[in-house]
Amino acid sequence: MRFISTDHKRIGINLVIASLGWFLVGGVFALLMRAQLSGPSNHVLSNASYDEVFTMHGSTMIYLFVTPMALAMGTYLIPLQIGARGLAAPRLALAGFWVWMFGGLIMQSGWFVYSGPGQAGWTAFAPLSNSTYTPGYGQDLWTLGVLLAVLGMIFIAVSLALTIMRRRAPGMTMMRMPIFTWTALVAVLLVIGAFPMLVIAMSLLFADRLGAHIFTGFAGSITYQDLFWFFGHPVVYVMFFPYLGAAAEAVAVNAQKRWFGYTAFVASMLAFSVLSMSVWGHHMFVTDGLTNEYFAFTSTLLLVPAGIEYFDLVGTLIRGRIIPRTAFLFGLGFFIQFLIGGLTGIFTASPVLDYNVYGSYFIVAHFHYTLFAGSVFGFFAGVYHWFPKLTGAKLREGLGKVHLVVIAVGTNLTFMPMFFLGADGMPRRVANYPANPEWGTLNALSTAGSGIVAIAMLIFMANVVISLRHRIPAGDDPWLGHTLEWATSSPPPPLNFVAPLPPIRSYAPLLDLREAVAAQAERAAVGLASGTGAAVPAQGPISDTPPVEKT
Amino acid sequence: MRGGVRPILIWLAILFSSATLNAIWTGDLVQIGMFVIALGTVGSLVIGVIVANPDALRRGEPGPRGPEVVVRRSFAAFFLALGFAVFVFGWTFGRFPLLVGGGMMIAGIGRLVGEWRAQRQAVRAR
SS (H, E, C) A59-89: HHHHHHHHHHHHHHHHHHHHHHHCCCCCCCC
- What residues of A are in contact with residue B3 (Cβ under 8 Å)? 168, 173-174
Neighbours of A191 (CB within 10 A): 29
Which among A3, A97, A154, A274 is the top mutation candidate for probing chain B, defined by the most B β-carbons within 10 Å of its own β-carbon?
A274
Which of A456, A458, A488 lies closest to A474 in space, CA to CA? A488
Residue A266 with chain B: CB contacts under 8 Å? 7
pTM of the model: 0.94
In angstroms, the CA A5 to CA A91 distance is: 9
C-alpha distance from B100 to closest chain A C-alpha (Å): 16
Nearest to A443 by CA among A20, A12, A13, A40: A40
**CB pair distance less than 8 Å for A226 and B78:** no
Return the CA Rg of chain B: 21
pLDDT value of position A392: 96
User: Best interface-test mutation with B: which of A115, A172, A268, A278 has the largest number of B CBs within 10 A?
Assistant: A278
Dist CA A203 CA A210 (whole Å): 11
Q: How far is CA A252 from the centre of its chain?
A: 19
**pLDDT of the residue at A541:** 42
A238 CB neighbour count, 10 Å cutoff: 29
Of A5, A95, A277, the CB nearest to B15: A277
Residue A533's pLDDT is what?
A: 47
pLDDT score for A532: 55
d(CA A96, CA B74): 13
Give the per-residue pLDDT at B69. 79
Interface of B with A in 37-76 (CB under 8 A): 37-39, 41-42, 45, 49, 53, 56, 60-65, 68, 70-76
Instruction: Report residue A329 CA to chain centroid gap.
Output: 17
Angstroms from B38 CA to nearest CA on chain A: 4
Q: Distance between CA A207 and CA A205 in Å, rounded?
A: 5
pLDDT digits (tens, 9 = 90+) for B10-21: 999 999 999 999
Which one of B36, B53, B82, B89 makes the best mutation probe of the A interface by having the most chain A beta carbons within 10 Å? B89
Strand partners, A5: B73
pLDDT of residue A473: 94
Rounded to an integer, what distance in angstroms lies between the CA atom of residue A292 and that of residue B112? 49
Among A331, A315, A335, A313, smallest CA distance to A323 is for A331
Say how far apart CA A247 and CA A312 lie, in whole Å: 12
Angle at the Cα of A227 from the Cα atoms of A221 and A232, rounded to 5 degrees: 115
Give the count of alpha carbons within 13 A of A127, CB side only: 14
- Structural contact between residues A98 and B81, judged by C-beta atoms closer than 8 angstroms: yes
The predicted pLDDT at position A531 comes to 61
Alpha carbons A50 and A97: distance in angstroms, whole number: 30
Provide, as residue numbers in chain B, all residues whose Cβ is less than 8 Å from the Cβ of A92. 77
Contact B30, A223 (CB under 8 A): yes
Hey, is A431 helix, strand or coil? coil
> What is the residue-level pLDDT of chain A in tens, covering all 551 positions?
788 999 999 999 999 999 999 999 999 999 999 999 999 989 999 999 999 999 999 999 999 999 999 999 999 999 999 999 999 999 999 999 999 999 999 999 999 999 999 999 999 999 999 999 999 999 999 999 999 999 999 999 999 999 999 999 999 999 999 999 999 999 999 999 999 999 999 999 999 999 999 999 888 899 999 999 999 999 999 999 999 999 999 999 999 999 999 999 999 999 999 999 999 999 999 998 788 899 999 999 999 999 999 999 999 999 999 999 999 999 999 999 999 999 998 888 999 999 999 999 999 999 999 999 989 999 999 999 999 999 999 999 999 999 999 999 999 999 999 999 999 999 999 999 998 878 999 999 999 999 999 999 999 999 999 999 999 999 999 999 999 999 999 999 999 999 899 999 999 999 999 999 999 998 988 877 766 544 444 333 444 444 444 43
Please enumerate in sequence order all residues whose Cβ is within 8 A of that of A215, keeping only pairs 6 or more positions apart, or say none.
A126, A127, A130, A204, A205, A208, A221, A223, A224
